[in-house]
Amino acid sequence: MTENEQNKIRVSNLSVSFDGSESISGLTINLPANQITAVIGPAKSGKTTFLNCLNRMIDLFPGVKVTGQIFIDGADIYGEDVDVTKLRRRVGIVFAVPIPLPGSIYENMTLGLRLKGMRQRTALLERAEAALKEAYLWEEVQDRLNQPAMNLSGGQQQRLCLARTLALRPEIILMDEPCSGLDPISTAKIEEALQDLKTRHTVVLVTNNVKQAARASDRTAFFLSGKLVEFGPTDSIFTNPREKKTEEYIRGKFG
């Protein structure tokens, strides 16, 4: 297997600025397929900006300038012929604050599929059930699919948002601090789901919780002031970091 086949995402010399203020500077990193890569670092280190580049949500921000290249499966996602809508289906995202859509759990789960042209109720229900199971939510909601999604707890809402993303069968799942407002039990369920999901998906997890990064990820990238300080296997990053700044951040000396 070649390096390009092993690495689902390759980022080369990525720089991002907003109205001339640099958020990411000269970032080069390769993210392996079917692993969870945690991205850690203090506020304004470029973590969320990096996620937004991976599915080109960054395009929607005013005054943004992006240079460098990002390849997914060897194809430049910033190429002129890229269908951004299709890219965002391949690269799903789950945000820090769960945002259930108005309507029932079932309607939340099937809206994206119906927008893609899927109409048969049996097929829709099968896809919804499979995604809810992947998000470790099916057993809690299987008898409540016609109830309002807003009635779910915060942790359940976040898993619903994850399931809604999974229903579209993305290859890559981006997660932007998905457990920041959740209790420990809900956090554990999200982390458990991720361990199963990585067998079929590549996951990029931005988290401000270094303990979560240590528990849940295979590899960890430490960002500071828009630059990549260190990247490697999570065990190595947390037990024997090469860079002093990495060790100081992990130990809570700043951030």
Q: What is the pLDDT of residues 199-240, one digit of tens each?
A: 999 999 999 999 999 999 999 999 999 999 999 999 999 999
14: closest CA among 41, 62, 52?
A: 52
Q: Between the CA of residue 26 and those of 17, 29, 224, what are the distances in Å?
A: 11, 10, 12
Q: Residue 22 corresponds to which amino acid? A: E
Give the separation between CA 137 and CA 55, rounded to whole angstroms: 26
Position 68 scores a pLDDT of 97
4-40: pLDDT as tens digits:
448 999 999 999 999 999 999 999 999 999 999 999 9
| pLDDT in the model for residue 53 | 98
The amino acid sitting at 56 is: R
- Total-model pTM: 0.93
Quick one: pLDDT at residue 62?
A: 94
For residue 122, is pLDDT > 80? yes
Q: Are 97 and 81 in contact (CB under 8 A)?
A: no
Query: What pLDDT score was predicted for residue 172?
Result: 98
